[in-house]
Each structure stands twice: as C-alpha cells, then as structure tokens.
Amino acid sequence: MSDGAAITVDEVVAWLRDFAAVMAREKDALTALDSAIGDGDHGINMDRGMRAVMEKVDAATPADVPALMKTVGMALISKVGGAAGPLYGTLFLQFGSAAGPDGLTPDGWAACLAAGVAGVRARGKAELEDKTMVDALQPAADAVSAALGEGASFADALARGADAAEEGARATIPLVARKGRASYLGERSAGHQDPGATSSAHLVRSAARMWAV
Amino acid sequence: MSDGAAITVDEVVAWLRDFAAVMAREKDALTALDSAIGDGDHGINMDRGMRAVMEKVDAATPADVPALMKTVGMALISKVGGAAGPLYGTLFLQFGSAAGPDGLTPDGWAACLAAGVAGVRARGKAELEDKTMVDALQPAADAVSAALGEGASFADALARGADAAEEGARATIPLVARKGRASYLGERSAGHQDPGATSSAHLVRSAARMWAV
Amino acid sequence: MKKLINDPADVVAESLRGFAAAHADLVRVNADPAYVVRADAPVKGKVGILSGGGSGHEPMHGGFVGRGMLDVACPGEVFTSPTPDQMLEATKAVDGGAGVLHIVKNYTGDILNFEMAADLAREEGIEIEAVITNDDVAVQDSLYTAGRRGVGVTVLAEKIVGAAAEEGQDLAAVAELCRRVNAEGRTMGMALTSCTVPAAGKPTFELGEQEMEIGIGIHGEPGRERLPLASAKEIVERLAGPVIDDLPFASGDRVLAFVNGMGGTPQIELYLVYNELAQLLEARGITIARNLVGSYITSLEMAGCSITLLRLDDELIRLWDAPVLTAGLRWGA
Amino acid sequence: MKKLINDPADVVAESLRGFAAAHADLVRVNADPAYVVRADAPVKGKVGILSGGGSGHEPMHGGFVGRGMLDVACPGEVFTSPTPDQMLEATKAVDGGAGVLHIVKNYTGDILNFEMAADLAREEGIEIEAVITNDDVAVQDSLYTAGRRGVGVTVLAEKIVGAAAEEGQDLAAVAELCRRVNAEGRTMGMALTSCTVPAAGKPTFELGEQEMEIGIGIHGEPGRERLPLASAKEIVERLAGPVIDDLPFASGDRVLAFVNGMGGTPQIELYLVYNELAQLLEARGITIARNLVGSYITSLEMAGCSITLLRLDDELIRLWDAPVLTAGLRWGA
Ligand SMILES: Nc1ncnc2c1ncn2[C@@H]1O[C@H](COP(=O)(O)OP(=O)(O)O)[C@@H](O)[C@H]1O
Ligand SMILES: Nc1ncnc2c1ncn2[C@@H]1O[C@H](COP(=O)(O)OP(=O)(O)O)[C@@H](O)[C@H]1O
Ligand SMILES: [Mg+2]
Ligand SMILES: [Mg+2]
Ligand SMILES: [Mg+2]
Ligand SMILES: [Mg+2]
C-alpha cells in the first residue's frame, strides 16, 4: 500500500489474522498477567474470541471495512464474554462505524482507531491511569494521529503508535488499578502489568507489522 | 515382686501407665503405619483410648485385677472405636475374667494373657499370618507360658514374650493382609508392618519393663 | 491439574449436558447459546427471573433454576461472564409478558454484557429491570474500585425474588425487593487454597502451607490480604466482624446466616464454622432466624468459605420459606 | 494441614454442635455419647432406622436423619467407627416398640462394634436386625479379604429403607428390603488427591501430579491400583465397567445412577462425569430411571468420585420417590 492509497479489506483481514496469531501465541502469558491481578482468563478469552473472528471472516469475508468490523465486533461480543468481550467488541464496532463505506485512507484509519478508543472509554468509563487497556489504546491513537499530522508515513505512524501502546502498557505496572477486577486488589495491584493493556499493545503492533512497508 | 508372689493391682496399673505413655509417644509412628495400609488412625485411636483408661483408673482405682481389667476393657470399647476398640477391649475383658478374684501369680498372668488373646481371636476371627495384632499377641502368649514352664523367672518370661511379640510384629511386614482394612489393598499390603501388631508388641514390652526386676 | 474432565475447552458444555440429563424433570438446557431454563418456561403472566455469570460457581446459577427461584440461567465460560446474545435468547425464553428481571453480580464484565443484553431485549419489546448485587465488604466501594463484588447475597436474592415472582408480584415490585435484599445483606470470604481454571491449567495464585487469603472473591482472584493460617474461630471473627460492622447489624436484628463453602471444603468444616458463627452472633445479640450451610456459590475446587448475613423481616422470612424446587435448593416441594 | 478447624481433637464435636444449631427443626444432637436423632423420635410403632460410622463422610450419616430416612446416626471420630455404648444409647432413643434396624457398612471396626451394640440392645429387650452393606466391587469378596466395603449403596439403602419404615413396614420386611437394595447395587470409586485426617495432620497417602488411585474406599485408604491420570471418559469406563460386569447389569435394566463426589470435587466435574456415565449406560442399553449427583458419602476433602448403580423395580422407585426431609436429602416435603 502506498501512502494515501485506500486500505483494502484484505489488508485489514491480514492485520486481524496477525493479531489472532499473536493472541494464540501469547495466550499463556496474558493469562499469567491476569492471574496476578485478575481471574486468569484474559489470554484464554482473547484467543477464543479471535479464533471465532477468523472463522467467521474466513467463512465469508465481508465486502467492506465497516461490514468486516461489524462482524469482528459482534463475534467478539458473542464469544469473549468478561470485560474484554464488550470492550474489544465496542472497539471494533466503533472502528467500523467510523470507517464509512467509501474506503479507508491512513488518516481515516487513525480516525477510526480514535473512534474505537472513544467507544471503549464510553463503555468502560475508564480514565487514563486507571490501569486498563485504555492506557495502551489512547496513547496509540494519539501517537498515530500526531505522526500522520507531522507528515509521517502510515508505516512510521503505526510504528510510533505501537511504541506508544507498548510504553503505555508497561507504564501500567506501577499503577494501582481503579477499574475492572484488578481494582479489588487495591495497592496489591501495583507491580503488575495490566493484561488488557498488553493485548491492546499487541493489536497495535500487529497493525504496524501489517502495514510496515 | 518376687517370683510366685501375688501380682498387685498397683503393678498392673503401672504396666498400663507405661503402655499409655508409649502409645502417646508412638502415636504418630503407629498412625504412619496405618496410613500405609489402613486409614491412618491407629495411633490416634490407641492414644485416645489409653488416655481415657488412665483417667478412669486414676479417678478410682478398682480394688482387684478383674475389676481393673473390666474398667480398662470397657473404657477402650467406649473410647477407641474402629477395629482396635473392640479387639483391645476384649483382650482386657478376657484377661480380667481369667484373673479371678484371688490374686494373680506369674502363671496366672500368663493364662490371663492367653485367655485375652483367645478372646481377640474369637472376636476378630483372625488366624496367624493374617497380618493382625494376633501375629504379635499369640507368639507372645506362647513364649511367656513356655518360658515359665521351663522355669524362667517372670521377668525373663516377659522379656521373651516381648521379644516374640516384636519379632511377630516385624514378621508381618512381608505378609499380605487377610483381615481388617489392610486386606482391601491385596498384594499392596505386603512390605508394611501391621500397626495393630506393633501396638500389641508395645503392650507386651511394657509388661516386660514393668516386671523387669 | 487434577480434574475429572476431558478437553479443558469442553468443560462447561459437557457439564451442562450432564446437568440436563440429570435434571430433565426440572430444566431444559440450550446448548448454543448456553442457557438453563425451567422446564415449563415461559410462565405466562409471571415475571421472568434471569441470572448468569461465569461457570465454576455451581450450583449457582443453573442449579437454582426451577419453580420458586430462577426461570433461566446463563452460564459463561469458567469465570468469564456470559455474552449479550446469550442473555438475549435466555430473556426471550422466559418472557411471559410480564417482563424479565436480570440479577447481575457487580463485575465489570457482567455489567457490560448485561447492559448490552438489556438494550437488545428492550429493542425487542421486552421490559427489563436489572439489579446489581454488590455485597462483598472486602472491597471498598469507592471511586478507586469497580465497586463491591456481588457474592453470597446473590444466592439469597435469587431465592427470595424467585418466590415473589412465583406468587405473582410485578416486575417493579420484584426488582425493588431484589434491591432491598441486596441492601440488607453483606458477605466476606476467605481461601485456604487457590483454584485452577481448566483452560489455564495451573492455580490462579499460590498459597503457602501456612497461609490464607482473606477477602477473596469467587473467581480465584487473590484477596485483600494474605495472613498466617488461623483457627476457625479467628477466621470467623475476621469474616463476620467486618460483615456485621458494615451494615451494621445490631443487637436485636434477626438474620439469615449463610456459611458457604468455596467448593473444596467439606461439610464437616462448614458446620464447624457455623458453630463459631452462631456463638459470635449470639454474643452480639443477633438472632439467627434462618440459616443456610453448604457450598452454593463456589470457586471450582477452592478450599475456603464465605459468611453472609442478611437482615430479615417477616416478609423476607415468608419468601425465604416459600417452596423452591431446583437442583440446588429444594424445600416445600 | 489447611482446614477450617480449631483443635483437631474437637473437630467432630464442634461440627456436630454446628449441625445441631443449623438443623434444630429436624434433629436433636446428643453430645456424649454422640448421636444425631430426629426431632420427633421415638416414633411410636415405627421401626427405628439407625446407621453410623466414622465421621468425615458428611452428609452421611447425620445429614440423612429426618422424616423418611434415618431415625438416628452415630458419628464416630474421623474415619473411626463409633462405639457400642454410643450405638446402644442411640438405639434406645429411637426404639418405638417395633424394633430397630442397624445399617452397618462392612468394615471390621464397624462390624465388631455393631455386633457388641446389638448384643447389648437385645439384652435390654429391643429387637434388632443388622444389615451389612458391601457394594464396593474394587475389593474381592474372598477369604483373603475382610470382604467388600460398604460404600455408595449405603446412602441409597438408607433412603429406601427409611421410606419403607415411614410407611409402617415391620422390622423383618425393612431388613429384607435393605438386604435386597444391597444385593442390587454396586459401586467403585477413585481419588485424584488424598485427604488429611485432622488428628494425623498430614495426607494419608501421596499422589503425584499425574497419578490417580482407582478402587479407593471412603477412609483415605489407598486403592487397588495407582494409574496415570486419565480423562473423565476413561475414568468413567474404569469405574462403571467393573460395576456393570459384577452384578451384572444387563441391557433392559432400569437403574438409579449415583455419581458421588468425594468431598473436594466441585459439581461442575460431577455433572461432567454424569454426562459420560449416561452415554456409557445408554450404549449398553441400560436405562437411568433415577439419578443422584452430588457429594453424599465423602472422604473429607478428597478429590475424586464414585459411581454407584442400583437396579430398580417399581417398588424401589416408589420408595426412592417417597418424601424425605433431612439436611442432606430433601424432596416431597
Ligand atoms: N472499565 C474498564 N475499562 C476499560 N478496560 C477495562 C475495564 N475493566 C477491565 N478492563 C480491561 O479488561 C481486562 C481484563 O479482561 P478479561 O480478563 O478478559 O475480563 P475479566 O476481567 O472479566 O476476566 C483488564 O486487564 C483491563 O485492561
Ligand atoms: N479381624 C481382626 N482380627 C484381629 N486384629 C484385627 C482385625 N482387623 C483389624 N485388626 C487389627 O486392627 C488394626 C487396625 O486398628 P485401627 O486402625 O485402630 O482400626 P481401623 O482399622 O478400624 O481403623 C490392624 O492393624 C490389625 O492389627
Ligand atoms: Mg480476566
Ligand atoms: Mg485404622
Ligand atoms: Mg473473567
Ligand atoms: Mg479407622
């Protein structure tokens, strides 16, 4: 894909496929993170969800990005459960709604991500530093938009977004959780990286990998 | 006590007290033996029973050996439970019945033990080499009688009885149990010493210690 | 991981099949989406009572489906809340025209999924009320947490509210009753061991031979603090104390005392705990008018217990005593 | 040892106090000698049903005392049979003039103590029948063993015989019925973990992470063989196979299928096991007419299960379905 050209459905599918593979690979690691401050299922949930997504998408790939993202969001909502199901589901649903039917440019992609993150925040009511996936997603969305605004290539913008997401995820380590299951632990939640922020960083890194050239 | 002289109630009480102390000390060891081929309570049962016996006896020591042994037997029957309760209870009840009211000589003592062992066998229907307390008690009763018959002192006779009991207990190790809980294990019961034979050997050794001089 | 299972991925589905086979007189089980519904649903004109949550808490909720309690239960994956589409189908299966009450335990996942489900059901013209239970005093109810977890009171609420619906109370009344039960109940739990989520394959947390977790939830979450193992008497004080002080329960109150096992603790211990609790409450002048002792809201094979107190009045006692006919709770029928 | 207890020596007594407090509507508990007796005992003209055995198997037997099941239960120390004096007092407490049935599980200790108790009771003029249950197919019934252990069928016998006594059958009939139930039932059990006797403080046996014991009893005895951990499906085959072959149960038979938890196994697994059992029996043409799934005859906190099959006829079904009102089993009342 050259800069400014339309992002194809196939590319978005490839992004999702990469993310699904990462979720399968990182399942145990994510679950271990969730065992420390949650209930030990985040990796299992995400892996189950992304498997269901790829099955649906591979059975009949929707024609455009909005339709694709609706399929993805609904599959996650109906297969993941827990907090991550509705939150990731909303992320993709809002991403798709923002995409519109007329093809997607890098700027459009960035706006979609921002819309998705806004959807997550509206649903989960989490602020930055509540130690949730928002701590990876919001910096990522901001970084991609900023980079494109500064004239960076889509590849570079996504790389900066992925870096920001990973940094955001790492920055959850010292935080005391204020949302989700981890908040029950109070001070004991500090010292562990948030599992949802970690899976979110993987999502953005998958995008960076997909559109790397 | 000089040979041929009457055995006093106090001496019998001292024998029981020694046995009670041994049961307290050997509680865990007996329970470990019972864990291997039974249900892990023999030491606990015997310790509970002998504590109850000594409490009863110390509160009001019966005047003669038959009365004493009836108290002992009934206390064991009502406090031990399991297989050991009725079996040890019967041992002491029959010992007491055989004693008669007129004082006890070493020969009488040997006859009482034989009667007790016969009672155990009648109640439990165990043969020699069934891997039970009978494998310690029967050789002990036989050895004491034989030694006295050969003119040995009471002290020597009891020492030989205790040796025979311990040897009998050790000889249960290779046996496959045919009575009691251990028989459920079939071949797997071989290779472990029988807990009841072990506590019985302690009982005879306590007697040997009591009347050592 | 030592469990009586086949493939860890199939645990919930296979267990539900067994449940369906064992209790065909009481319930029907729908496989996909998964729900357990009373055999005679929908009951016309009766408010439907729906609850749901992750699996691994059995008998809650499937074991409470039947006459006088739940109309339908939605089991999620182990410790993972069920999904909106599942809740929607379940809601439709029990809508007898009088609306459906959703009883939701306060966990972010449950809340989010139930919110979506309620939206979907309302779009289909079904009246929905959702009541959130949040009785766990181990968690501070503050801006800095997701709020208190819904635990033991959920079981009691399902029984009492189920009785009210059975006798024909309308949706508003049943929802109000459910909120009242939640408001009058408090719980705190502890663990002696962790549990193992089948798909994870190893214990959620590790506890030393001489340690216990106080203030746990029901999902194998670590608790508020880890303390040296203590006697049942001390443990009861540590659980019942905060429970009593929080409402607070006062001398003269009549309560339902609920000693709950976490799944791996045998009855002999639960009754021993109840003995301590009864003494403690008597010393405080609190009367146990009703009690429940057993493993009703569990965390797989976790060893441990929770103590729930619910303040009773004559109305709640009447509804508690009303007949109930489910796999997990049964009396008067 | 991680248990919710105080002094290990007081576990049974304290747990009984809790049981008494929790179920004062159903039973009275005598502390010394220990027995749990139904609140309205003795019932005049009714055969008294007594059972007893070591503690640690809860709800058996105390949890089965009440209308339609046991009149009285004698709990021994943990895994230790109760004593003759205790059984005598319990017998007297339920003698309504029609005699008393002693239901005895086949263990040397239980047999010896019950024999003595029966002698004592007869001396006091009470008619006694004793029936021994010995349904455990894991043990060979031969001269080389103490015979088969009494396990799961005991629970079923207590329910069925209790119903017969409740409807006024006489001692001979009730004893004969009990022998018939025992003759028609078979059981086999397995363990994933050992249990720990409180007074012993450590596990009775050690099992590796990848091992299981097949053919265990209910006292933490090691079983017949130690095998690598297997799937629920294979385990069910290993338990149900010998059970079916022993009676033998045949195609066309109607059975009561009883999946019992050993104390530390959660319901989600027991229903999964039941699912496997139902499939296996269906494939063999055996019809499950009634079922029972839960932890009813346990070994403290042991993880594992047992499978019991009881061949039914219309009479046994009628008695099984009859009302029962106890802490551990309750229906129709
Ligand atoms: N209110 C919230 N807003 C945003 N993200 C949240 C919120 N609550 C939880 N999360 C995210 O969800 C993750 C946990 O997901 P998961 O383990 O799948 O669900 P559950 O907590 O229901 O078991 C957390 O690590 C966190 O990042
Ligand atoms: N039929 C029997 N005859 C003689 N001794 C027996 C018999 N059955 C069991 N025993 C003895 O009892 C001992 C076990 O006692 P104990 O552990 O206290 O009772 P239980 O087996 O009921 O738990 C065995 O080691 C054995 O020596
Ligand atoms: Mg989680
Ligand atoms: Mg023993
Ligand atoms: Mg979860
Ligand atoms: Mg025993």
Q: What is the CATH number of the domain that holds D241?
A: 3.30.1180.20
D212 Cα: distance to centroid of ligand 2 (angstroms): 26
Please count the residue pairs, one from chain C and one from chain D, whose beta carbons lie less than 8 angstroms apart: 176
pLDDT tens per residue, range A89-146 = 999 999 999 998 788 999 999 999 999 999 999 999 999 999 999 999 999 999 999 9
> What is the predicted pLDDT for the residue at C141?
78
- The reply to whether ligand 1 has any atom less than 6 angstroms from the CB of A181 is yes
B1: pLDDT confidence band, cut at 50, 70 and 90?
Answer: very low
Domain membership flag for residue B189: yes
d(CA B85, CA C77): 51
> What is the predicted pLDDT for the residue at C224?
80
Ligand 2 pocket: which of B23, B41, B47, B181 to mutate (most atoms <8 Å of CB)?
Answer: B181
Average pLDDT, chain A: 94
- The reply to whether ligand 2 has any atom less than 6 angstroms from the CB of B104 is no
The residue with tokens 């009549």 is C254
Do C206 and C71 share a structural domain?
no
- Give me the mean pLDDT over the A62-77 stretch: 96
- End-to-end CA separation in angstroms for chain D: 39
d(CA D216, CA D218): 7
D108-123 vs B84-99: helix crossing angle, rounded to 10: 50
| Binary contact (D2, C303; C-beta < 8 A) | yes
| Contact assessment for residue B43 and residue B31, using Cβ atoms and an 8 Å cutoff | yes
Ligand 1 pocket: which of A27, A179, A192 to mutate (most atoms <8 Å of CB)?
Answer: A179
Do C238 and C134 share a structural domain?
no
- The reply to whether ligand 1 has any atom less than 6 angstroms from the CB of A38 is yes
Domain membership flag for residue B3: no
| Contact assessment for residue B79 and residue B49, using Cβ atoms and an 8 Å cutoff | yes
Instruction: Report the greatest alpha carbon distance in chain B.
Output: 48
Sequential DSSP letters for B15-68? HHHHHHHHHHHHHHHHHHHHHHHS-S-HHHHHHHHHHHHHHHHHHS--SSHHHH
Domain membership flag for residue D3: no
d(CA A155, CA A146): 13
Give the CB-side neighbour count of residue D65, counting CA atoms within 13 A: 32
Q: Which of A202, A200, A182 is nearest to A191 (CA)?
A: A182
d(CA D207, CA D211): 6
Q: What is the CATH number of the domain that holds D65?
A: 3.40.50.10440
Do D81 and D131 share a structural domain?
yes
Q: Which residues of chain D have a CB within 8 Å of the CB of C270?
A: 4, 18
Q: Which residues of chain B have a CB within 8 Å of the CB of D139?
A: 183-184
pLDDT(D34) > 60: yes
D110 Cα: distance to centroid of ligand 2 (angstroms): 11
pLDDT(A4) > 60: no
pLDDT(D200) > 90: no
> What is the predicted pLDDT for the residue at B2?
42
- End-to-end CA separation in angstroms for chain A: 7
> What is the predicted pLDDT for the residue at D141?
78
Tokens matching residue D250: 């045949």
- The interface predicted TM-score (ipTM) is 0.92
d(CA A46, CA D311): 47
D128: pLDDT confidence band, cut at 50, 70 and 90?
Answer: very high
> What is the predicted pLDDT for the residue at A178?
94
d(CA C301, CA D299): 15
Measured from the alpha carbon of residue A180, the closest ligand is 1
D102 annotated active-site: no
Nearest CA in chain C to D55: C268
Residues 6+ apart with CB under 8 A from D183: none
Alpha-carbon distance D146 to nearest alpha carbon in chain B (angstroms): 5
- The reply to whether ligand 1 has any atom less than 6 angstroms from the CB of A45 is yes
Sequential DSSP letters for D135-202? -BTTS--STTSS-PPP-THHHHHHHHHHHHHHTT--HHHHHHHHHHHHHHEEEEEEESS--B-TTT-S
- The reply to whether ligand 1 has any atom less than 6 angstroms from the CB of A121 is no
Tokens matching residue C15: 């267990």
| Contact assessment for residue B131 and residue B83, using Cβ atoms and an 8 Å cutoff | no
Domain membership flag for residue B29: yes
| Binary contact (C3, D275; C-beta < 8 A) | no
| Contact assessment for residue B132 and residue B197, using Cβ atoms and an 8 Å cutoff | yes
Average pLDDT, chain C: 96
Handedness of CA C203, C199, D204, D301 (dihedral sign): positive
pLDDT tens per residue, range B91-115 = 999 999 999 878 899 999 999 999 9
B9-37 vs B65-79: helix crossing angle, rounded to 10: 30
d(CA D101, CA D175): 7
pLDDT tens per residue, range B115-153 = 999 999 999 999 999 999 999 999 999 999 999 999 999
> What is the predicted pLDDT for the residue at A184?
87
Ligand 2: residue whose CA is nearest its atom 15: B84
- Spans of chain C below 50 pLDDT: none
| Contact assessment for residue D114 and residue D104, using Cβ atoms and an 8 Å cutoff | yes
Alpha-carbon distance A92 to nearest alpha carbon in chain C (angstroms): 15
- DSSP count for chain D of H helices, then E strands: 8, 15
D190 Cα: distance to centroid of ligand 4 (angstroms): 20
Alpha-carbon distance A170 to nearest alpha carbon in chain C (angstroms): 21
**Which of C115, C138, C200 has its CB closest to that of A31?**
C200
Domain membership flag for residue A13: yes
| Contact assessment for residue C172 and residue C129, using Cβ atoms and an 8 Å cutoff | yes
DSSP designation for D98? S
Domain membership flag for residue C143: yes
> What is the predicted pLDDT for the residue at D194?
93
| Contact assessment for residue B196 and residue B182, using Cβ atoms and an 8 Å cutoff | no
pLDDT tens per residue, range B36-94 = 998 888 999 999 999 999 999 999 999 999 999 999 999 999 999 999 999 999 999 99
Tokens matching residue A17: 């496929």
Residue that wins the pLDDT comparison between A186 and A52: A52
Alpha-carbon distance D60 to nearest alpha carbon in chain C (angstroms): 10
Q: Residue B121: which region, alpha, beta or left (left: phi > 0; alpha: psi -120 to 50)?
A: alpha
Domain membership flag for residue D279: yes
| Binary contact (C56, D268; C-beta < 8 A) | yes
A195-210 vs A42-59: helix crossing angle, rounded to 10: 40
Window 137-176 of A: residues touching C by CB (8 A cutoff) are 176
Q: Which atom of ligand 2 is nearest to the CA of D112?
A: 1
Into how many domains does chain B fold? 1
> What is the predicted pLDDT for the residue at C261?
98
Q: Which of C154, C175, C163, C178 is nearest to C66 (CA)?
A: C163
| Contact assessment for residue D327 and residue D59, using Cβ atoms and an 8 Å cutoff | yes
pLDDT(A149) > 70: yes
| Binary contact (D83, B81; C-beta < 8 A) | yes
Q: Which of D119, D108, D135, D122 is nearest to D53 (CA)?
A: D108
Do D114 and D18 share a structural domain?
yes
Do D191 and D171 share a structural domain?
no
Domain membership flag for residue C2: no
- Residue C31 backbone phi and psi in degrees, to 5: -85, -45
Domain membership flag for residue D289: yes
Residues in chain C: 333
| Binary contact (A40, C84; C-beta < 8 A) | no
Q: Which of B26, B39, B93, B132 has the most D C-beta neighbours within 10 Å, making it the best mutation to test the interface with D?
A: B39
C267-283 vs D11-22: helix crossing angle, rounded to 10: 70
Q: Which residues of chain C have a CB within 8 Å of the CB of A185?
A: 221-222, 224
**Which of A79, A183, A185 has its CB closest to that of C222?**
A185
C61 annotated active-site: no
B4: pLDDT confidence band, cut at 50, 70 and 90?
Answer: low
Helix or strand or coil: residue B199?
helix
Q: Which residues of chain A have a CB within 8 Å of the CB of C109?
A: 81-86, 181
- Give me the mean pLDDT over the D24-34 stretch: 97
Do D166 and D272 share a structural domain?
no
Q: Could you tell me the CA-to-CA distances from B144 to B155, B209, C316, D220 in Å, in that order?
A: 10, 14, 74, 38
**Which of D229, D272, D288 has its CB closest to that of C11?**
D272
Do D203 and D100 share a structural domain?
no
Instruction: Report the greatest alpha carbon distance in chain D.
Output: 55
Domain membership flag for residue D254: yes
Domain membership flag for residue D39: yes
- Give me the mean pLDDT over the D77-81 stretch: 93
Do D139 and D39 share a structural domain?
yes
The residue with tokens 């576990």 is D11
Measured from the alpha carbon of residue B181, the closest ligand is 2
> What is the predicted pLDDT for the residue at D317?
98
Do D281 and D172 share a structural domain?
no
Domain membership flag for residue A2: no
Do C303 and C206 share a structural domain?
yes
- The reply to whether ligand 1 has any atom less than 6 angstroms from the CB of A205 is no
Domain membership flag for residue A1: no
B73 Cα: distance to centroid of ligand 4 (angstroms): 19
A188 touches chain C (CB under 8 A): yes
Tokens matching residue C128: 């929905």
Do D153 and D205 share a structural domain?
no
Q: What is the CATH number of the domain that holds A79?
A: 1.25.40.340
Into how many domains does chain D fold? 2
Nearest CA in chain A to C142: A178
- Residue A50 backbone phi and psi in degrees, to 5: -70, -30
Q: Cα–chain-centroid distance for residue C167? A: 22
**Which of C80, C85, C144 has its CB closest to that of A82?**
C80
| Binary contact (B186, D83; C-beta < 8 A) | no
DSSP designation for D70? B
Domain that includes residue A101, residue range:
9-210
Do C230 and C98 share a structural domain?
no
Alpha-carbon distance D290 to nearest alpha carbon in chain B (angstroms): 30
Tokens matching residue C104: 């939701």
d(CA A147, CA A139): 12
- The reply to whether ligand 2 has any atom less than 6 angstroms from the CB of B132 is yes
Domain membership flag for residue D1: no
> What is the predicted pLDDT for the residue at B6?
84
Domain that includes residue D271, residue range:
185-314
Strand order of the β-sheet with C225-228 is: C225-228, C211-214, C185-191, C304-311, C254-261, C287-294
Sequential DSSP letters for B130-153? SSSTHHHHHHHHHHHHHHHHTT--
